[in-house]
Amino acid sequence: MKNIINTFKFTAIALVVTTSLVGCTQDKKNSDEATQAKQTLSKKLTSKDAQIFLDDVAQEIITLGVSGARAEWIYSNFITEDTASLAAEANQKSTEAGVRFAMQAATFDNVEVTSTQRRQLNILKQSLVLPAPQNSIKSAELAKIGAELGSMYGKGSYTTKDGKKLSLGDMTSTMATSRDYDELLEMWQGWREISPPMKPLYARQAELVNEGANGLGYKDLGAMWRSNYDMPADDFAKELDRLWGQVKPLYDDLHCYVRSELGKKYGTDKVPQDKPIPAHLLGNMWAQSWGNIYNIVSPENADPGYDLTKQLSVHNYNEIKMVKGAEKFFTSLGFDALPETFWKRSLFTKPADRDVICHASAWDLDAKDDLRIKMCIQKTGEEFSVIHHELGHNFYQRAYKEQPVYFQNSANDGFHEAIGDTIALSVTPKYLKEIGLIDTIPDESKDIGLLMKMALDKVAFIPFGLLVDQWRWKVYSGEITPENYNTAWWELREKYQGVAAPIDRNINAFDPGAKYHVPGGVPYSRYFLAHIQQFEFHRALCEISGNTDPIHRCSIYNNKDAGKALNTMLEMGSSQPWQQAYKVLTGNEQMDATAILDYFAPLHIWLKDKNQGKQCGF
């Protein structure tokens, strides 16, 4: 997903590399002197000064955003050394500007400004993911650490006992498809050999970014990240735990059933039925989603009676027709059709003559109407849902285009992914029948298999989505010290996921570093939020549409009332606290994870029945 304001939501490596450039232009003052200077300056500034600053920055954001988005689009679609260089140059300009904007915005911390100005100033400050200390030597050190961590992860590989060198992609594929216990263990161990050298670098990085966060007025980086959610930082942490408490009963029953089935597959000596599940047996390198082991745990007679991939072929759907079909979903809700430029400028299929980045993404290049998607579409049922998801981003981007540039973003960082997934939840058998792709809707006895497949991905992910930042917040606050990095990581994984390391871990291991978002410095709570929000949005839209089916069977296709309510929320962008946007659609300012329980209710009943007599818990 690309849009102008998101140009300033930097990745860690890009940020810290260019932060050093900015730091070198400043006098070598210590942070106390910098703070004192900021306070002196604040006494002379007014709300009028803030508006002049914000207006000037807005124009610069627009200019940098358009040029940066175009450079990145060209690189993604024509991968050469030259296009990579152009994209890097554009990213550097944007990143340098973002660091400058954040530091200047912080000078207004003690100035009396309007509520809108304060919101815009905070957005500029919080766009820094890994803030550097206001000291050129330390910012240069942070830049070097970020580059080294990124390189360690990016170049990571494992050489097998027979001398074969495997990339992360190779190992991930094996983890998804192999059912050999020892082979899975070798892949799991092999990938984690890349991360121990990261540990001292990561510890030093934590010290430096905490100092940077202090300079922006936050007690540590974790508090700074949590302050990005329109509520006190500590309240946000409590809110996530509250939501997890709502989902946990469903997760516990899913965990119990899956552990039992894995015990049948591998033996209860390898999968004890009263302990956490060994992390290498869940079909994913990080055990964060379990969909790849569906064939091990699938219910009997779960075949829904149709194969969507085959049905797309029977009805002569090519790649363009698949996108046109997804667009029709949105126009059926009352949204305007996509602009003609979307069809001319998007990438729908993998070119035969050049390298491109095939990862599906939705783009907004000018914050007006230059919307695009970039996909190497495969004619499969899964991709049909993905297209609906990506267009969800595009229609969100267009909905908030009239907002000031600062507010051209989702209400919080979970919303954008949640909206895309909300739309994908309406790709139900009922919808498929309505558009003529299948002839009959399977009876409800077939729902268990469909719900199980979805739960293995969505419900299984939720505790992982929570614990990654739980661990980092404790690192940044000092509660977790470097000597306890790995022990604390596995304590959290056992507590929340009921998943354990399959072998004893060396005290110097650094298993968090084997997950990209940790060395990459990418906040993770957004993914947890998206998994909660999408089900509540879906439930609310189904209620608005007058749906009488169970919500897992509901599709809002062709319902103008649901479309109007959705668009009202989307148009707000990030102009108001996310709670206000939430209330527009759901009627509540507080998230409510019971929508997930409603959605998976038939599966939960089935799981409880299958778990009778079993020793659940971990």
Cα angle, residue 591 at apex, residues 589 and 597 outer, rounded to 5°: 140
pLDDT (tens digit per residue) in 535-592: 999 999 999 999 999 999 999 999 999 999 999 999 999 999 999 999 999 999 999 9
Does 393 qualify as catalytic in the annotation? yes
Query: What Cα–Cα distance (Å) separates residue 330 from each residue in 208, 293, 327, 569?
Result: 46, 33, 5, 15
Instruction: Count other C-beta atoms under 10 Å from residue 577's C-beta.
Output: 16
Instruction: Count other C-beta atoms under 10 Å from residue 354's C-beta.
Output: 10
Residues pairing with 277 in the sheet: 499
Residue with tokens 């006098």: 27
Instruction: Count other C-beta atoms under 10 Å from residue 206's C-beta.
Output: 21
DSSP helix/strand/coil, 158: strand
Residue with tokens 């998206």: 530
Average pLDDT (481-490) is 97
- Annotated active-site residue in 96, 211, 327, 390: 390
DSSP helix/strand/coil, 82: helix
Q: How confident is the model at residue 33 (pLDDT cuts 50, 70, 90)?
A: low
Instruction: Count other C-beta atoms under 10 Å from residue 368's C-beta.
Output: 14
Residue 196 CB contacts under 8 Å (≥ 6 apart), including other chains: 506, 508, 509, 510, 513
Does 406 qualify as catalytic in the annotation? no
Supply the pLDDT for residue 4: 43
Does 359 qualify as catalytic in the annotation? yes
- Annotated active-site residue in 186, 417, 494, 536: 417
DSSP helix/strand/coil, 372: strand
Task: Work out the mean pLDDT of the chain and round it to a whole number.
Answer: 90
Supply the pLDDT for residue 371: 97
Residue 360 backbone zone (phi > 0: left; psi -120 to 50: alpha; other: beta) = beta
Cα angle, residue 471 at apex, residues 236 and 247 outer, rounded to 5°: 55
Q: How confident is the model at residue 482 (pLDDT cuts 50, 70, 90)?
A: very high
pLDDT (tens digit per residue) in 332-350: 999 999 999 999 999 999 9
Supply the pLDDT for residue 81: 87
Answer with the residue of higher pLDDT: 48 or 352: 48
Residue with tokens 């929570």: 466
Supply the pLDDT for residue 304: 85
Q: How confident is the model at residue 38 (pLDDT cuts 50, 70, 90)?
A: low
- The answer, yes or no, to whether residue 499 has pLDDT greater than 50, is yes
Q: Quote the tokens at residue 112.
A: 């009396």
Average pLDDT (269-295) is 96
Supply the pLDDT for residue 341: 97
Answer with the residue of higher pLDDT: 35 or 617: 617
**DSSP per residue over 270-318, as a string?**
TS-TTSPEEGGGSSSTTSS--GGGHHHHPPTT---S--HHHHHHHTT--
- Annotated active-site residue in 517, 543, 571, 601: 517
Residue 353 CA, distance from chain mean position: 32
The runs of H, that is alpha helices, within 484-593 are 485-496, 525-544, 560-571, 578-586
Supply the pLDDT for residue 91: 78
pLDDT (tens digit per residue) in 227-264: 999 999 999 999 999 999 999 999 999 999 999 999 99
What distance in Å separates the CA atoms of residue 243 and residue 462, rounded to the nearest whole number?
10
Residue 500 backbone zone (phi > 0: left; psi -120 to 50: alpha; other: beta) = beta
Instruction: Count other C-beta atoms under 10 Å from residue 531's C-beta.
Output: 25
Supply the pLDDT for residue 16: 28
- Annotated active-site residue in 527, 557, 582, 599: 527
Supply the pLDDT for residue 498: 98
* The length of the chain, given as a count of residues: 618
pLDDT (tens digit per residue) in 438-473: 999 998 888 999 999 999 999 999 999 999 999 999
Does 360 qualify as catalytic in the annotation? yes
Supply the pLDDT for residue 39: 56
What distance in Å separates the CA atoms of residue 476 and residue 226, rounded to the nearest whole number?
12
Supply the pLDDT for residue 136: 82
- Annotated active-site residue in 255, 280, 388, 393: 393
**Maximum Cα–Cα distance for the chain, whole Å?**
73
Residue 609 CB contacts under 8 Å (≥ 6 apart), including other chains: none
Instruction: Count other C-beta atoms under 10 Å from residue 311's C-beta.
Output: 17
Half-sphere exposure of 218 (CA within 13 A, CB side): 31
Does 315 qualify as catalytic in the annotation? no
Q: Where are the domains of the chain?
A: 5-140, 223-315+409-618
Tell me if 232 sits within 8 A of 139, measured CB to CB.
no
Q: Tell me the helix, strand and coil percentages in the chain, rounded to 5.
A: 65, 5, 35
The percent of residues above 90 in pLDDT, for the chain, comes to 77
- Annotated active-site residue in 88, 203, 302, 360: 360
- Annotated active-site residue in 81, 352, 359, 382: 359
Supply the pLDDT for residue 42: 57
Supply the pLDDT for residue 32: 55
What distance in Å separates the CA atoms of residue 151 and residue 157, rounded to the nearest whole number?
12
Does 527 qualify as catalytic in the annotation? yes
Cα dihedral 387→359→369→69 (10° resolution): 170
What distance in Å separates the CA atoms of residue 565 and residue 32, rounded to the nearest whole number?
49
Answer with the residue of higher pLDDT: 491 or 148: 491
Residues pairing with 499 in the sheet: 277
User: Which residue type sits at 568?
Assistant: T
Query: What Cα–Cα distance (Å) separates residue 342 from each residue in 75, 217, 362, 553?
Result: 18, 42, 11, 31
Average pLDDT (430-445) is 93
Average pLDDT (62-73) is 92
Average pLDDT (107-126) is 94
Does 417 qualify as catalytic in the annotation? yes
Q: How confident is the model at residue 6 (pLDDT cuts 50, 70, 90)?
A: low
What distance in Å separates the CA atoms of residue 490 and residue 484, rounded to the nearest whole number?
10
pTM value?
0.90
pLDDT (tens digit per residue) in 127-164: 889 988 888 898 889 888 988 998 899 889 999 988 99
Judging by DSSP bridges, how do beta strands 277-278 and 499-500 pair with one another? parallel
Residue 199 CB contacts under 8 Å (≥ 6 apart), including other chains: 482, 485, 508, 510, 513
Supply the pLDDT for residue 37: 52
Supply the pLDDT for residue 316: 96
- The answer, yes or no, to whether residue 36 has pLDDT greater than 60, is no
